């Protein structure tokens, strides 16, 4: 592995900025065209209905304008992106079968050490394809399915087609359309009725090539009364040119089921991260999003819960940290379709060095969703005079019996707190770091211990030199 010489000072503290020499079985030409979409479908040996779906999505993408709200996307040149790169030796079931350089990459990132330690299963995506997927035998015996999305299509075609693109159709937005046209990689998860997977599944996404795009599509179905936890991590090398990540996550939480989806995103600062994540939650089901956004040049991500039947509950806990050259436009959506549904949004953001963080959220309660309730808390912390934070809450209530609460705070690091901690022997940087860790504690405590430690470590790296 080599450290890329084009790492700039914005990425100076980014520890995953190295890259591998490019060794690929297939690499599509730059740009999004019909022949590229057909190449992807042919490389995957897909049924005709999927090719038709992709081509329709391409037409939808071409018909939709770039969004003019949210973050500035004028620097994203979609014609300069590689939309499909197939690495050698993809989708191995045995770690020994993964190509050596790719294996070394994930070993360096902590995969599959995490699998050996405390995971029910682990998947690894490199460029456009899953290079490894494995589920522990004890869960396979209970009927749990944890495959690449491509294998899910082939091995469970009826279940796949019943749910695919029903939660996030290509018409939803321009980037859902681009994902629908060129999707590649991602996970297919099914947890049968009543099965409770008490240790996490994990998938790790790695972009390696310069000017590349990653467009994974993950479909997760949690059947009645089942429970599971899925964790996603992301990194990429640092290049002078921009890369593009546009994933789609579709989750179905059936009656009485409970599911948590946790993300620790640590893309390098040359990545545009434009993601659509949505869960459909049925009667008395619970969906929890735990969302950590530290890396990327631009992030636009709003995990959503559609509460479709009585008693459904949705929760979103999010943390975003924006440093110099970054705009984290993150938030959440809770949409109430049924009576006695409930939601909670807790959003924390930290901005420094002219970085910008934005909370953008939607709470919508339809008429007939009697006694629906949601509470929103947005807290922003500014570390210096150049930092910026914005809040864009949208609340739409069509039901008289509904209850919605919204509160927002903006604060700076308190000089008195810093002085007090310094009087106890801490340096100024250590004191600021301790205050920030306390600020994000409501999010960190919801992660498994090893991931909470990693989140705090990443925050510390981002904090270096922020004061003084």
| pLDDT value of position 203 | 81
Position 320 in a domain: yes
CB atoms within 10 A of CB 99: 17
> CA 151 to CA 95: how far, in whole Å?
17
Which phi-psi region, left, alpha or beta, contains residue 63 (left: φ > 0; alpha: ψ -120 to 50)? alpha
Percent composition of the chain: helix, strand, coil (DSSP 3-state, to 5): 25, 35, 35
List residues bridging with 233 in a β-sheet. Answer: 204, 264
Which phi and psi angles does 364 have, rounded to 5°? -130, 130
Give me the residues paired with residue 380 across strands: 349, 410
Query: Does 160 reside within a domain?
Result: yes
Find where tokens 């939601």 sit: 343
Q: Of 8, 12, 18, 5, which Cα lies nearest the Cα of 464?
A: 12
Contacts of 123 (CB under 8 A, 6+ apart): 130, 132, 133, 134, 146, 148, 187, 201, 202, 203, 204
Nearest to 287 by CA among 317, 250, 260: 260
SS3 of 154, please?
helix
C-alpha–C-alpha distance, residues 180 and 192, integer Å: 27
- Rounded-to-integer distance, Cα 101 and Cα 303, Å: 34
How far is it, in rounded angstroms, from Cα 100 to Cα 87? 12
Q: Distance between alpha carbon 311 and the CA centroid of its chain, in Å? A: 26
- DSSP designation for 247: -
Q: What residue has token string 């593009």?
A: 244
So what's the pLDDT on residue 236? 47
Note whether residue 191 is domain-resident: yes
Three-state secondary structure call for residue 446: coil
3-state secondary structure of 459: helix
User: Is 134 contained in some domain?
Assistant: yes
What are the beta bridge partners of residue 390?
358
Asked whether 359 and 392 are in contact (CB, 8 A), the reply is yes
Number of structural domains in the chain: 1
Residue 440: C-alpha distances to residues 96, 130, 427, 456, 468 (Å): 39, 32, 20, 9, 22
Report if residue 318 sits inside a domain: yes
Rounded to an integer, what distance in angstroms lies between the CA atom of residue 134 and that of residue 145? Answer: 10
Q: How many residues does the chain have?
A: 468
The series of mean pLDDT values per 10 residues for the chain, 468 residues long, is 36 45 70 95 96 98 94 93 77 60 59 54 66 73 92 96 98 97 94 94 72 89 97 61 89 98 84 96 97 90 98 95 93 98 96 93 98 96 91 96 94 83 85 82 74 70 58
Residue 468 lies in a domain: no
| Long-range pairs, 167-172, Cβ under 8 A, ≥24 | 167/250, 167/251, 167/252, 167/278, 167/279, 167/280, 167/306, 168/248, 168/249, 168/250, 168/276, 168/278, 170/53, 170/56, 170/57, 170/60, 170/61, 171/60, 172/276
**Helices and strands, number each (H, E), in the chain:** 11, 26
Structure tokens at 176: 């859902």
Give the helix/strand (H/E) hosting 142: none
Minimal CA–CA distance to 282: which of 224, 195, 218? 224
Compute the distance between CA of residue 287 and CA of residue 277 in angstroms, rounded to an integer. Answer: 12
Taken in order 445, 391, 11, 66, is the CA torsion positive or negative?
positive
Residue range of the domain that includes 265:
2-463
| CA angle (340, 346, 350) in 5-degree steps | 165
Contacting residues for 356 by C-beta, under 8 A, at least 6 apart? 322, 326, 327, 328, 387, 388, 389, 390
d(CA 9, CA 12): 5
CA neighbor of 294 nearest in space, from 214, 377, 350: 350
Q: How many CB atoms lie within 10 A of CB 415?
A: 8
């Amino acid at each position: 592995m080599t450290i890329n010489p084009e790492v700039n000072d914005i990425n100076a503290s980014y520890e995953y900025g190295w890259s591998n020499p490019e060794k690929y079985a297939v690499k599509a030409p730059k740009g999004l065209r019909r022949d590229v979409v057909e190449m992807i479908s042919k490389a995957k040996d897909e049924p005709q209905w999927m090719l038709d779906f992709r081509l329709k999505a391409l037409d939808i993408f071409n018909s939709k304008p770039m969004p003019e709200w949210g973050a500035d996307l004028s620097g994203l040149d979609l014609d300069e992106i590689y939309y499909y790169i197939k690495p050698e030796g993809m989708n191995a079931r045995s770690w020994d079968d993964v190509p050596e350089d790719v294996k070394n990459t994930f070993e360096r990132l902590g995969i599959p050490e995490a699998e050996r330690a405390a995971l029910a299963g682990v998947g690894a995506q490199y460029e456009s394809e899953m290079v490894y997927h494995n589920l522990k035998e004890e869960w396979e015996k209970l009927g749990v399915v944890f495959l690449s999305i491509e294998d899910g299509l082939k091995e469970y075609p009826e279940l796949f087609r019943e749910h695919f693109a029903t939660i996030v159709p290509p018409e939803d937005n321009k980037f859902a359309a681009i994902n629908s046209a060129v999707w590649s990689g991602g996970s297919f998860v099914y947890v049968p009725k009543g099965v409770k997977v008490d240790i996490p599944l994990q998938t790790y996404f790695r972009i390696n090539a310069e000017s590349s795009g990653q467009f994974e599509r993950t479909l997760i179905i949690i059947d009645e009364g089942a429970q599971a936890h899925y964790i996603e991590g992301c990194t990429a090398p640092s290049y002078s040119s921009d890369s593009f990540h546009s994933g789609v996550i579709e989750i179905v939480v059936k009656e009485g089921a409970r599911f948590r989806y946790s993300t620790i995103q640590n893309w390098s600062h040359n990545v545009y991260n434009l993601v659509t994540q949505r869960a459909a939650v049925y009667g008395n089901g619970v969906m929890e999003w735990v969302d950590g956004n530290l890396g990327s040049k631009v992030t636009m991500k709003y995990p959503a819960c559609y509460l479709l039947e009585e008693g459904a509950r949705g929760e979103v806990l999010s943390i975003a940290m924006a440093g110099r050259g970054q705009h984290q436009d993150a938030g959440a959506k809770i949409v109430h379709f049924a009576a006695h549904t409930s939601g909670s949004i807790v959003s924390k953001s930290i901005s420094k060095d002219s970085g910008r963080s934005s909370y953008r959220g939607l709470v919508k309660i339809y008429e007939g969703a009697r006694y629906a309730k949601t509470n929103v808390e947005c807290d922003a912390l500014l570390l210096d005079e150049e930092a910026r934070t914005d809040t864009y809450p949208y609340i739409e209530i069509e039901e008289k019996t509904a209850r919605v609460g919204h509160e927002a705070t903006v604060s700076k690091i308190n000089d008195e707190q810093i002085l007090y901690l310094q009087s106890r022997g801490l340096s100024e940087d250590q004191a600021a770091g301790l205050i920030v860790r306390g600020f994000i504690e409501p999010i960190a405590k919801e992660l498994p211990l090893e991931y909470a430690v990693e989140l705090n470590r990443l925050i510390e790296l981002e904090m270096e030199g922020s004061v003084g």
